Chain A
Amino acid sequence: MLPPTPKQSDSSQPHQPESTTIDPQLIEDLCASCRTGDIATVDKLLSLGAPVNHVDSFDNTPLYLASLCGHEDLVMMLLQRGAVCDSDKYEGVRCIYGALTDRIRKMLLSYDMSKAVDANLPFAIHFRGLVTELNGVTQDFAIRVGQQGDKLVSDQQQNSIVRCHRFILSARCPVFLEKLLDDWKDLSYIDLSQTYKDELALRCILDHIYLIHDPTKFAKVNKHTLLEYTQLFELKEYTTQLQYYLTLTNAKDKAKFNNELQVAIYNDSRIDLKGLVMQNVIGNKLVVHYDDEVSEASYSEDEEEESEPELSEYQLSRLRLSDSTYPDLIISVSDASKNQMVYYPVHRSVLIRLDYFKVMFDSSFTESQYFEIDPHFNILSREQSPRIVNLPVESTKVAEIILKYIYFDHTDIPLDHSVEVLKAADLLLNDRLKTMAAITITKSEDLLPSGFDIYDILRTAWDCRVERLEHHVAKIIAEDLERFSRDPKFLQIVKESSERIKARQETDTIELIDDIRYYLAKKWAIDHDGLFDGQTESEEFLRLLPDYNSYLEEMDKVEALLEGLNLDA
């Protein structure tokens, strides 16, 4: 790869390691969401790989639109996700001048290019956190990186032994991948400090593998040694970036490099983790049909019918030893529609991104009592077979969507699985995934996931407390009130809605009806609130509006409907 040569059209996006063919629709959607300030959708689109620094067909960047429209939180998120506001460039200046409020302007200015991006996508944050012990001991490999008591580098009181995860090392670095499969196969500890004398550079390598870029460390390290090491470890992207860095002479460019490198690391790691999931996790799944012989050895006639499925030693070892996955956990998914049970080798350290699993493994219930710790290095013992834990979802499709989400923030949820994903996310206690699934539905206009009618969606929204979805349903109904008002199921759901409310707080409103009225007004372009500050004379004005009568007609229809149900709202 060559050092990037900035192009005029997208000068603020210096590196595009992923394929350069970006769906223009993605950019349009991103920019549209930035206009409306729909932070959840922006989150999702960015997770899908929408380029944060591209321009839409009107030559606006997402950051410019968000600043112009005054969405403070969104501006912050874009900046954190690597949106660039370079006051030397046309786009940056435009952002700063266009910013709606001083607070946004201040934010833009404070996010100078030289500042390291400290939070990319949530998965990156999670992986960075894995080096520490905050999430419990999940590491399974110890590496000595320096001599104990070495004053030169141990000023940060760092332990000279770094504890890592074999699966991350393998996924991120070809050299580790190879060695761990071969020479180091039976080791749980390796001393690299003899081969790689420059401790700081070695630490930078490990940091890089864990998606960490520490500008202070980077400032101190000898770049040439580091380059040598990146080549030895065959870290291609890092090597390219470093070579590019070494061509920089201007201090300002060097300062900007920190930010650029972060974005590069993030993109690079995403590819690696995607590979890990596709090849090692999903690729190694074990499918057992209900009517299969599970295993000759483990099966016994008198086992209870409802007992947990048990895999044979042979199958287990296949899952565990299959190439470079190094799972410490196996999740089982029972797929009723296909009449099969599917097993995926996974990693507890990633699974705990779902609060459900985090709580499960943090508590002292039986699930958490399985892991043995090698006390010498305080890492997981390699001796035990991974434990099987059930992932409470209804199909392998859903399971795989969730796996992709937790490993590399894949948020492209197909419409047909969105309701299941939504429910699973609710059960697994991950609100962000819930929102992502809901967005899929709301963005699909009046298309519905197959097998669900609009009322199912609304009930799911109620169950899982997704307001966005409730509004969406109300909007669909308002759009086609004519048809829905004749549907007995619709009457039923209105009743349910009214009961929902009454059970809660004894008020006279029916949320669904309120929402429908709101969208009716929107549909006929009747603005009750905005135009006249609520003055009574607006009634006269409203009469002049072309669709006012249609609006009134439909409003009456709603009234009639309520009367029919004996409801008052």
Chain B
Amino acid sequence: MQSRRPKIRPPRKSLTAALDFPSIWSTLSQSILQILNQNAGSLSFEELYRKGYNIVLKKHGGILYESIGGVISGYLEGCYTKLINVEEEGDGQVLDRVIQLWRDFEISMKLISDVFLYLDKVYTRENHLLLVYDHGVTLFRDLIIKRDQGKIGNLINEKILDLITANRAKGAMIDFFKIKEVMMMYLSLEETDENGVLIGETYYTLFFERYYLDRSGSFYEGLAGEQFQLGNGRAYLKWVEGVLLDEENKMSLYLNAETCEKLRMLMSRICIVSKIDQVLRFPQESLRDWVHLRKEEELTLLYRLLSRAGYFDGLLVQIDEIIKDEEGLKSPSLDGQGKEKVKISQVSTVFVTQVIALKDKYDQILRYLSTDANVQKTIETSFTSVLNPAAAAAATSRLSEFLSYYIDEFIKKSKDSNDTEISAFLDNAIVIFRFIKDKDVFEKFYKNHLAKRLLKAQSEKDDDLERMLIDRFRNEIGSTFTAKLEGMFKDIHLSRELSAKFNHKNLHVSVLTKTFWPIQPTETSSLINLPSVLEDLQSQFTQYYTNCFNGRNIQWVYNFGTVDIRVKFTKKLHELNCSIYCGVIILLFQEFEQITYKELKQVTQIPEAELKRALLSLSVAQRTRVLLKSPMSKEFQDDDVFKFNYNFTAPLTKVKILTVITKQDTDATRSETLKETETDRKYEVDAMIVRVMKSNKTLSHRELIEEIIKLSAKRFEPSVGFIKKRVEMLIEREYLRRDETDSKVYHYLA
């Protein structure tokens, strides 16, 4: 029976049977070709797998592996020839054909690698070869795409870029999915090193991408050039944004993320970075127009594009230029034009308001530019540098002065201001304050103004605004700046209490700490001969004060003091409010009918400048001629004679005799203030140098200069020359010494 029907027979024992490789291989190679020709459905996996398994088990893995490669190579060679023929016939379908070939090949390779799973598992891995699938893919790479110096690959690349360029230039409809498919193929074609090991780079990354970027670059280079020629900034920006968006939408359809990023960078460089600086300077529709007309749309668009390119340098430079051209930031001239007299307080208010308006304008521009931190910084430095012209610093920069006058003017008139006005004022003051480089100069001016205001102020209530302002200053640059100012407030406060305690209805004294105040007693001022009424009061207070505060020394300064004198004139009784000097002079006429200028000098001992000023107020100023001067002139001679004018009239009972201020006086105070600042700076810098050297012991010249500039930045900007001079001085005074070998190094001398 068995011999009659051996239909189902057992498989032979595999352990012992010999292997007939050629015959098994001939079936296998036929099957591989069938698979490559999309005919797998008719093949049995079991049969093929077991053939492969047996071969491997019999240690023929090596020859099997090579043979598989051989069959695939043969197949691919055939495909290549066909492709080339088709192309040479001008078929034009080479792209589609390669895509189709790859599609089929990839599927086939998957099946082939399934069949030879055991080979991969046992032989391929142990011998560090490419897996069957990867091996097939590298063969495809070498025998199709890269064969003959990459003939097919180059052809496809060219065709793809032709398609893409047509789409970019004319909006031609193209099949992005087809391109995507090629990209996927390229990404699968991994490159190998000389040992046949995969290196993680693909045909895509090594060949296609470079070609793609080259062609894309030159295409956009040309287009951007054309747009640039049109010379319209707005139009150019619009074009760039359009092109970028368009490309952005398309690139993700077929490129991988890394190339997308590279294309973005490339386009940014070509369309934005390389041209934008010139675009912004176009005669029409350019940055200057947008800034001055506050064009939101254009500026936000510009910012979008620049942030895409990450390039802001050009914008910053141009913004700086534009700000520096703003007329409103130039310090106004104080020389009167023609006959009109220019009042510094008015000029100050106008100028400060103007600067504030410009600052607002640029704040708005800044918002359009997305409140970019660098733009903000540029705006601030530009403002600062325009407002503080570097040349001969203090001589031309009157910003400190202007601000001080602006503040003075506002506070004097602040009685009727409402809260909004006040807070706007405070904000403005701080804005300008920030722009001031030489804060010490400002401090001087401000202190003078503040001193006058404080001495005139009647009650605590008036101080509120002053205090708010000082708080702001302190928040801005710290309490060292405001310490003295606060001291001034304290003095005034204490003086009020003291006067209240002294309780004399006719005397109000402000006791000021010498170091806080800009007012200094001079030697002559205390030698003035006071009339007995005043002298009495003075000595009473002096005694009271020294009783209260043992050991304190009190010195009298009359400059800012006033007296009220009631005088019965022929027509009416008037109450004269005048400076102490004027008071002293008026009271003299209780004793004298008339008196000469020379006698006045001798009797009163008032310093001549003050005396002259007082006499100008009393005898020359038209509304307050309490004295009669002969001859009547502005000049004073020793034998000029003064008489009391009993016929003096005035519309009101109270008459305020203002102290005349001459222009020479103001100029003199100003230059004096500046000179004081100069001296103060010397001390400050000296102190700083000594402090720095004491803690560092040894520093190079450069380090020292840097350190000093850093330390003084909040208050003023000393020039290097200035610091050098101070260092020389300190060396002379043996605080420092130069290093014996390196003259650029300083040592601290304890």
Contact A341-B44, Cβ < 8 Å, known A356-B49, A429-B118 = no
Inter-subunit contact B7/A303 (CB<8 Å): yes
- In A332-378, which residues have CB < 8 Å from any B CB? 334-336, 339, 341, 355-356, 359-360, 362-369
Inter-subunit contact B50/A336 (CB<8 Å): no
- In B45-75, which residues have CB < 8 Å from any A CB? 45-46, 48-50, 53, 57
Which residues of chain A are within 8 angstroms of B609 by Cβ–Cβ distance? none
Inter-subunit contact A367/B46 (CB<8 Å): yes
Nearest Cβ distance between residue B112 and chain A, in whole angstroms?
Answer: 10
Inter-subunit contact B114/A359 (CB<8 Å): yes
Inter-subunit contact A369/B41 (CB<8 Å): yes
A463 to B53, CA, bound (A): 11
Contact A366-B1, Cβ < 8 Å, known A305-B7, A334-B8, A429-B121 = no
Inter-subunit contact B41/A290 (CB<8 Å): no
Which residues of chain A are within 8 angstroms of B44 by Cβ–Cβ distance? 365-367
Which residues of chain B are within 8 angstroms of A312 by Cβ–Cβ distance? none
**Does residue A491 face the partner (Cβ distance < 8 Å to B)?**
no
**Does residue A309 face the partner (Cβ distance < 8 Å to B)?**
yes
Contact A429-B117, Cβ < 8 Å, known A363-B40, A364-B111, A365-B40 = yes
Contact A290-B46, Cβ < 8 Å, known A309-B7, A366-B41, A427-B118 = no
Which residues of chain B are within 8 angstroms of A365 by Cβ–Cβ distance? 40-41, 43-45, 48, 111, 114
- In B1-47, which residues have CB < 8 Å from any A CB? 1-2, 5-11, 40-46
**Does residue A454 face the partner (Cβ distance < 8 Å to B)?**
no
Nearest Cβ distance between residue A404 and chain B, in whole angstroms?
Answer: 22
Which residues of chain B are within 8 angstroms of A392 by Cβ–Cβ distance? 11, 46, 50
Contact A334-B10, Cβ < 8 Å, known A360-B49, A429-B117 = yes
Checking A290, A306, A356 against B2 with a beta-carbon cut-off of 8 angstroms, the contacting residue is A290
A245 to B297, CA, bound (A): 68
**Does residue A109 face the partner (Cβ distance < 8 Å to B)?**
no
**Does residue A465 face the partner (Cβ distance < 8 Å to B)?**
yes
Inter-subunit contact A465/B122 (CB<8 Å): yes
Which residues of chain B are within 8 angstroms of A362 by Cβ–Cβ distance? 114
A288 to B1, CA, bound (A): 14
Inter-subunit contact B57/A367 (CB<8 Å): no
Inter-subunit contact B53/A359 (CB<8 Å): no
Inter-subunit contact A363/B114 (CB<8 Å): yes
Inter-subunit contact A291/B2 (CB<8 Å): yes
Checking A288, A307, A390 against B46 with a beta-carbon cut-off of 8 angstroms, the contacting residue is A390
Which residues of chain B are within 8 angstroms of A306 by Cβ–Cβ distance? 9
**Does residue A161 face the partner (Cβ distance < 8 Å to B)?**
no
A362 to B44, CA, bound (A): 13
**Does residue A294 face the partner (Cβ distance < 8 Å to B)?**
yes
- In A297-329, which residues have CB < 8 Å from any B CB? 299, 303, 305-307, 309
Inter-subunit contact A367/B45 (CB<8 Å): yes
Q: Which residue of chain B lies nearest to A338 when distances are taken between CB atoms in the complex?
A: B10
A540 to B89, CA, bound (A): 87
Contact A290-B6, Cβ < 8 Å, known A334-B11, A363-B45 = yes
**Does residue A389 face the partner (Cβ distance < 8 Å to B)?**
yes
Interface 0/1 of B118-134, CB less than 8 Å to A: 10011000100000000
Q: Which residue of chain B lies nearest to A306 when distances are taken between CB atoms in the complex?
A: B9
Which residues of chain B are within 8 angstroms of A334 by Cβ–Cβ distance? 8-11
Nearest Cβ distance between residue A367 and chain B, in whole angstroms?
Answer: 5
A362 to B49, CA, bound (A): 14
Nearest Cβ distance between residue B438 and chain A, in whole angstroms?
Answer: 64
Inter-subunit contact B57/A463 (CB<8 Å): yes
Contact A360-B7, Cβ < 8 Å, known A429-B118, A463-B57 = no
Inter-subunit contact B1/A291 (CB<8 Å): yes
A335 to B126, CA, bound (A): 34
Inter-subunit contact A290/B8 (CB<8 Å): yes
Which of A288, A290, A294 has the most chain B CB within a 10 Å cutoff? A290
Which residues of chain A are within 8 angstroms of B6 by Cβ–Cβ distance? 290, 305
Give the size of the chain A interface in residues (CB under 8 angstroms): 36
- In A260-311, which residues have CB < 8 Å from any B CB? 288, 290-291, 294, 299, 303, 305-307, 309
Which residues of chain A are within 8 angstroms of B49 by Cβ–Cβ distance? 356, 359-360
A365 to B117, CA, bound (A): 14
Q: Which residue of chain A lies nearest to B12 when distances are taken between CB atoms in the complex?
A: A336
A184 to B48, CA, bound (A): 41
Which residues of chain B are within 8 angstroms of A290 by Cβ–Cβ distance? 2, 5-9
Nearest Cβ distance between residue B115 and chain A, in whole angstroms?
Answer: 8
A79 to B649, CA, bound (A): 113
Q: Which residue of chain A lies nearest to B48 when distances are taken between CB atoms in the complex?
A: A365
Nearest Cβ distance between residue B113 and chain A, in whole angstroms?
Answer: 9
Inter-subunit contact A427/B2 (CB<8 Å): no
Inter-subunit contact B121/A364 (CB<8 Å): no
Which residues of chain B are within 8 angstroms of A394 by Cβ–Cβ distance? 11
Nearest Cβ distance between residue B88 and chain A, in whole angstroms?
Answer: 34
A368 to B44, CA, bound (A): 9
Interface 0/1 of B328-352, CB less than 8 Å to A: 0000000000000000000000000
Which residues of chain A are within 8 angstroms of B126 by Cβ–Cβ distance? 504
Contact A359-B45, Cβ < 8 Å, known A290-B2, A291-B1 = yes
Q: Which residue of chain B lies nearest to A431 when distances are taken between CB atoms in the complex?
A: B121
A299 to B111, CA, bound (A): 34
Inter-subunit contact B8/A363 (CB<8 Å): no
Nearest Cβ distance between residue B256 and chain A, in whole angstroms?
Answer: 27
Inter-subunit contact A288/B117 (CB<8 Å): no
A288 to B57, CA, bound (A): 30
Nearest Cβ distance between residue B446 and chain A, in whole angstroms?
Answer: 67
Contact A291-B111, Cβ < 8 Å, known A336-B11, A364-B40, A392-B50 = no
Which residues of chain A are within 8 angstroms of B46 by Cβ–Cβ distance? 360, 367, 389-390, 392
Inter-subunit contact B11/A288 (CB<8 Å): no
Checking A288, A335, A356, A368 against B10 with a beta-carbon cut-off of 8 angstroms, the contacting residue is A335
Nearest Cβ distance between residue B18 and chain A, in whole angstroms?
Answer: 16
- In A533-554, which residues have CB < 8 Å from any B CB? none
Which residues of chain B are within 8 angstroms of A355 by Cβ–Cβ distance? 117
Which residues of chain A are within 8 angstroms of B110 by Cβ–Cβ distance? 363
A368 to B46, CA, bound (A): 11
A341 to B6, CA, bound (A): 12
Q: Which residue of chain B lies nearest to A334 when distances are taken between CB atoms in the complex?
A: B10
A356 to B117, CA, bound (A): 9
Checking A294, A364, A429 against B7 with a beta-carbon cut-off of 8 angstroms, the contacting residue is A294
Interface 0/1 of B699-742, CB less than 8 Å to A: 00000000000000000000000000000000000000000000
Nearest Cβ distance between residue A390 and chain B, in whole angstroms?
Answer: 6
Which of A303, A366, A465 has the most chain B CB within a 10 Å cutoff? A366
Which residues of chain A are within 8 angstroms of B121 by Cβ–Cβ distance? 429
A359 to B52, CA, bound (A): 14
Inter-subunit contact A341/B43 (CB<8 Å): no
Contact A364-B53, Cβ < 8 Å, known A290-B2, A290-B7, A290-B8 = no
Which residues of chain A are within 8 angstroms of B8 by Cβ–Cβ distance? 288, 290, 294, 309, 334, 341
A362 to B113, CA, bound (A): 13
- In A458-508, which residues have CB < 8 Å from any B CB? 463, 465, 504
A429 to B117, CA, bound (A): 9
Which residues of chain B are within 8 angstroms of A307 by Cβ–Cβ distance? 7
Nearest Cβ distance between residue A106 and chain B, in whole angstroms?
Answer: 35
Inter-subunit contact A366/B7 (CB<8 Å): no
Q: A305-B6, A427-B53, A504-B126 are in contact. List 16 more A-B contacts (CB 8 A).
A: A291-B2, A307-B7, A309-B7, A309-B8, A334-B8, A334-B10, A334-B11, A339-B2, A341-B8, A360-B46, A362-B114, A364-B41, A364-B107, A365-B45, A366-B43, A366-B44
7 sampled A-B residue pairs with Cβ under 8 A: A290-B8, A290-B9, A291-B1, A299-B7, A305-B9, A365-B43, A392-B46
Nearest 4 A-B pairs (CB), nearest first? Answer: A336-B10, A365-B45, A291-B1, A360-B45
> Residues of A with Cβ closer than 8 Å to B?
288, 290-291, 294, 299, 303, 305-307, 309, 334-336, 339, 341, 355-356, 359-360, 362-369, 389-390, 392, 394, 427, 429, 463, 465, 504
> Residues of B with Cβ closer than 8 Å to A?
1-2, 5-11, 40-46, 48-50, 53, 57, 107, 110-111, 114, 117-118, 121-122, 126
